[in-house]
């Protein structure tokens, strides 16, 4: 027992506080050093995906059954040695030829879509870095892409006339954009505006939500196909789906997915918006969404970045769709 200290007065400045450092915590490097609750947790191992195995097995059985049925059918028809057998062989050959042509068309569509993306990225890099050799390569491939198009004949001739002049990479790309790509931009803008107007009108007067969804989806896919064809992609079914995924990714990355009633109110005014019916407001919203998808598709399909030409503005195009301009 220590003797109690008598009361005394002191100043706060005279107090010296000493922090005693704590020893660092020991890191458990062995499983035996871990707590019992941690050692008792099951290991996070990825087991068999039985659902995927089931689907693969069922798909394999269906495929084998189809092959066996087709093999038996062809062998039976060939054994007849009459017009039915020869007709079956002819139809089978025609089906195989059609399947090969579809595969080649889809592969060509995917290749053309990838070509547009590579041209755009390499042209952007050539303009930023001032790489004249890369710019010449981009212009050469752009000329091959649009070779034989009657609507760009004047632009191709003008580019061939002036591309040998003394120009740096940025000037050469500006000339290519001015002569080959810029004439296509007003057509692309009109395609987007026409699709957005059709979506606005149909969704405003259609009786059911299912009809709205089907029409909006089909019209947007039709718009994407027309824009890609305009800029030189000519997509098939698979490349069209890939283009749709690229457009959605572009919208999300650029932050343009936030689209709501505030945009419509800023365009047409708060007072007029309050007087609009729900169906008309829904039509305007769907038209604005189609416009946003169309502008993103132009950015994805355009073979050159916006160097000299001004990018189309979303609010101006929506106002045109709404009939306010």
Residues of the chain with pLDDT under 70: 1-6, 8-48, 81, 255-279, 323-325
Question: What is the rounded radius of gyration, in angstroms, for the C-alpha atoms of the chain?
Answer: 33
The pLDDT of residue 235? 85
- Asked if 238 and 304 sit in the same domain, the reply is yes
- Asked if residue 219 and residue 100 are part of one domain, the reply reads no
41 within some domain: no
Task: Say if residues 136 and 172 touch (Cβ distance below 8 Å).
Answer: yes
Q: Is 24 among the domain residues? A: no
Structure tokens at 144: 């091959």
Co-location of 166 and 214 in the same domain: no
Same domain, 317 and 240: yes
pLDDT of residue 29: 45
Q: Which pLDDT value is given to residue 128? A: 87
Q: Clarify whether residues 238 and 125 are in a common domain.
A: no
* 4 inside domain: no
Q: Within this chain, do residues 170 and 273 fall inside the same structural domain, yes or no?
A: no
Same domain? 231 vs 316: yes
Assess whether 212 and 301 both reside in one domain.
yes
Of 90, 105, 98, the residue nearest 236 (C-alpha): 105
Same domain assignment for residues 120 and 160: yes
Whether 147 is covered by a domain: the verdict is yes
The pLDDT of residue 72:
83
Query: Domain for residue 9, yes or no?
Result: no
86: containing domain: 59-107
Q: How many domains does the chain have?
A: 3
Segment holding 91, helix H or strand E: helix 83-129
Whether residues 166 and 82 share a domain: the answer is no
- Residues 235, 298 share a domain: yes
Those residues with Cβ within 8 angstroms of residue 155's Cβ, 6 or more apart along the chain or in another chain:
146, 179, 180, 183
Is there a domain that residue 10 lies in?
A: no
Q: How far apart are CA 234 and CA 162, in angstroms?
A: 29
pLDDT at 23: 53
Identify the pLDDT of residue 5: 67
Distance, CA of 124 to CA of 304 (rounded, Å): 8
Burial class (CB in 10 A: 0-12, 13-18, 19+), 119: buried
CA 224/CA 218 separation, integer angstroms: 10
């Amino acid at each position: 027992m220590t003797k109690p200290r008598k009361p005394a007065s002191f100043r706060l400045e005279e107090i010296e506080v000493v922090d005693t450092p704590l020893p660092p915590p020991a890191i458990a490097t062995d499983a035996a050093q871990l707590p019992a609750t941690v050692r008792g947790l099951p290991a996070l191992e990825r087991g068999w995906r039985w659902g995927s195995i089931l689907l693969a097995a069922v798909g394999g059985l269906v495929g084998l059954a189809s092959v066996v049925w087709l093999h038996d059918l062809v062998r039976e028809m060939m054994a007849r040695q009459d017009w039915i057998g020869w007709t079956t062989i002819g139809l089978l050959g025609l089906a195989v030829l059609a399947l090969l042509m579809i595969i080649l068309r889809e592969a060509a569509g995917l290749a053309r879509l990838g070509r547009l993306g590579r041209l755009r990225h390499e042209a952007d890099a050539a303009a930023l870095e001032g790489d004249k050799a890369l710019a010449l390569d981009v212009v050469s491939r752009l000329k091959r892409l649009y070779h034989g198009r009657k609507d760009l004949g004047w632009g191709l001739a003008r580019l061939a006339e002036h591309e040998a002049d003394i120009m740096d990479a940025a000037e050469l790309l500006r000339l290519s954009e001015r002569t080959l790509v810029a004439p296509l931009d007003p057509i692309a803008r009109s395609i987007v505006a026409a699709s957005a107007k059709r979506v606005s009108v149909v969704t405003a007067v259609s009786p059911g939500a299912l009809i709205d969804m089907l029409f909006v989806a089909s019209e947007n896919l039709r718009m994407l196909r027309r824009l890609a064809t305009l800029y030189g992609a000519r997509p098939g079914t698979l490349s069209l789906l890939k283009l749709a995924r690229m457009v959605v990714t572009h919208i999300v990355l650029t932050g343009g997915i936030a689209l709501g009633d505030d945009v419509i109110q800023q365009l047409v005014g708060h007072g007029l918006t309050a007087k609009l019916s729900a169906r008309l407001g829904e039509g305007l919203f769907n038209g604005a969404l189609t416009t946003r998808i169309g502008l993103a598709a132009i950015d994805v399909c355009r073979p050159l970045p916006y160097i000299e030409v001004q990018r189309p503005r979303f609010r101006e195009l929506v106002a045109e769709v709404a009939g306010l301009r």
